[in-house]
Amino acid sequence: MNKPKIWLSSPHMGGNEQKFVNEAFDANWVAPLGPNVTGFETDLEKYLNNNVFVGALSSGTAAIHLGLVLLGVQPGDEVICQSMTFSASANPIAYLGATPIFVDSESQTWNICPNALEEAIKDRMSKGKKPKAIIAVHLYGMPFQVDSILEIAHRYDIPVLEDSAEALGSTYKGKKCGTFGAVGVLSFNGNKIITTSGGGALVAKTKELKEKAVFLATQARDAAPHYQHSEIGYNYRLSNICAGIGRGQMEVLDEHVKLRRKMHDFYVHELKGIVGVSVFEEPNSDFYSNHWLSAIVIDSEKCHGKTREDLRLAFDAENIESRPLWKPMHLQPVFQKYPYFGGNICEKLFENGLCLPSGSNLTDEDRSRISTVLK
Ligand SMILES: *Cc1c(COP(=O)(O)O)cnc(C)c1O
């Protein structure tokens, strides 16, 4: 009597995805360009409030890679990156032969700490190495301290690459996440708030920057009847089939945000009054999270010695997926030799934090099974 698996975050189709995919088949637009790609980009531009230009790409990782290329990152350069994140935020720094400089989080949003960021910039500059870019992440959909981070970036004249892969639908002071950085990045991987089965996007402030991104994403082909190239290109464009899924998903994005936020409210309600357990919440009304993943931190000393691992195993025994928070990059074997600035905030979050099932397609029965384990 195996109970069905409850996933952390699984794809949730709205209904019209197949219609757009069928249109692509009917017109034989089975290619990495076509009307669904253009339509999906227009939908995203409208959603992000029309003052940005979106290029649909094959993944969020590809978007970060191209974003760093557009910001001029070259071999030997240094790039600052929030340590507490998914590896895809940092890997493209290595693709370019640049050096990652990792920075701790602050405890309110769990994202890059303004003080540690400034400390890192000053230290690198004193060594004659001014960082080429800052990668800041809206973790689990929670906006980072946008004003403070942008102020520091502006003061030192270092561009911000805004990793909004987890934060489509989140806002800071009423403005959509993804639109704050010199370059913004979105992901439509299978576990994200909307999915194209796999895909991503680069958000640019100007039409020229978007066109440059699309040029690089389609093998950097010069205008000539034959194939001619003056720059190194990539094959990073989103396919017209996947973009069709994306167009259908855009119709239900707001509903997904609502449902994910409802899952968060469910956990707040379930865990109210339980000493030693805190649910990850917005610090104040400037921050509006899509709550892509709901997360908690367990203080085991106040919690009868129960740890986040006890809870994870209890969920696992009921065929319910949960996962420790992101393991900081500066603690990863592949990255531990690089400089790190800050204290132990992200390390403590990793030790005591757990992500809980958060999908927009969870049912009352799923919630009841989750509730039983929590109790
Ligand atoms: C998912 C994710 C990415 C990468 O996106 P893909 O589309 O999976 O390549 C980058 N950064 C963060 C923070 C992510 O969660």
- Number of structural domains the chain divides into: 2
Share of the chain above pLDDT 90, in %: 95
The CATH number for 174's domain is 3.40.640.10
The CATH number for 368's domain is 3.90.1150.10
Q: What's the mean pLDDT when you consider all of the chain?
A: 96
131 and 226 share a domain?
yes
pLDDT, one tens digit per residue, over 313-337 is 999 999 999 999 999 999 999 999 9
User: Among 91, 163, 346, which residue has the most ligand 1 atoms within 8 Å of its CB, making it the best to mutate?
Assistant: 163
> Is 284 part of any domain?
yes
- pLDDT value of position 217: 97
> Is 1 part of any domain?
no
209 and 225 share a domain?
yes
- pLDDT value of position 1: 57
194 and 236 share a domain?
yes
pLDDT, one tens digit per residue, over 33-72 is 889 999 999 999 999 987 999 999 999 999 999 999 999 9
Q: Tell which of 188, 220, 252 closes a domain.
A: 252
186 and 96 share a domain?
yes
**CA-187 nearest atom, ligand 1:** 7
Helix (H) or strand (E) holding 136: strand 133-137
Segment 103-109 shows an average pLDDT of 98
> First and final CA of the chain: distance in angstroms?
22
221 and 365 share a domain?
no
pLDDT at 160 over 80: yes
Q: pLDDT band at 103, cuts 50/70/90?
A: very high
178 and 261 share a domain?
no
187 lines ligand 1 (CB under 6 A): yes
Q: Tell which of 235, 252, 269 closes a domain.
A: 252
136 and 65 share a domain?
yes
236 lines ligand 1 (CB under 6 A): no
166 and 309 share a domain?
no
104 lines ligand 1 (CB under 6 A): no
Question: What does DSSP say about strands 175-176 and 171-172: parallel, antiparallel, or unpaired?
Answer: antiparallel
206 and 338 share a domain?
no
164 lines ligand 1 (CB under 6 A): no
Instruction: Say how far residue 294 (Cα) sits from the centre of its chain.
Output: 14
Instruction: Residue 332: give the domain boundaries.
Output: 254-374
- pLDDT value of position 2: 77
Q: Where are the alpha helices (DSSP H) in the chain?
A: 17-26, 35-47, 60-70, 91-95, 114-126, 146-156, 207-217, 240-250, 253-270, 308-317, 345-352, 364-374
Nearest CA to 10 out of 363, 365, 359 is that of: 359
- pLDDT value of position 50: 77
330 CA → ligand 1 middle, Å:
18
Q: Tell which of 252, 273, 294 closes a domain.
A: 252
233 and 262 share a domain?
no
